[in-house]
Amino acid sequence: MKTKKGILSIVFALVVSLFALQVSAAIQDETSTFKVYGNCDMCKKRIETALLKNPNVKKATWDTKSKMLTVVYDPKMISLDAIHKIVADAGHDTDKVKATDASYKSLMGCCQYQRKS
Ligand SMILES: [Cu+2]
């Protein structure tokens, strides 16, 4: 009888700690805001869609006016560098990673934002 109770309390403790882990995982999502070059609503859709295709990106919002991207992601599963890379691969320069000329040129004319160099 005593061991049965012991096992039960261990199982109970395990269930409680698993639940706590899940809750803390949700809390540990990180939010980052950085500059992404683009022009219009089509750029917005392209940038956000490319990011949200990745299951480790929870939220992605690009502001057409300020050109700032706010992204919520799981830092244990994806790095901020990888997020910059996704945006650059879609054809949009970020303040850290530049898109390749080929992916920039594949953008529609109205989306070809002014580049620095
Ligand atoms: Cu555009």
Helix (H), strand (E), coil (C) string for 50-107:
HHHCCCCEEEEEECCCCCEEEEEECCCCCCHHHHHHHHHHCCCCECCCCCCHHHHHCC
Taking the centre of ligand 1 as the mean of its atom positions, its distance from the CA of residue 115, in whole angstroms, is: 14
pLDDT at 5: 85
Taking the centre of ligand 1 as the mean of its atom positions, its distance from the CA of residue 20, in whole angstroms, is: 43
Taking the centre of ligand 1 as the mean of its atom positions, its distance from the CA of residue 46, in whole angstroms, is: 8
Distance CA 41, CA 26 (A): 30
Taking the centre of ligand 1 as the mean of its atom positions, its distance from the CA of residue 82, in whole angstroms, is: 22
CA distances to 10, 40, 49, 68, 94 from 57, rounded to whole Å, are 35, 22, 11, 16, 17
pLDDT at 1: 57
Predicted confidence band of residue 20 (pLDDT cuts 50, 70, 90): confident
Taking the centre of ligand 1 as the mean of its atom positions, its distance from the CA of residue 40, in whole angstroms, is: 4
Q: Which CATH number fits domain 30-111: 3.40.50.150, 3.40.640.10, 3.40.190.10, 3.30.70.100?
A: 3.30.70.100
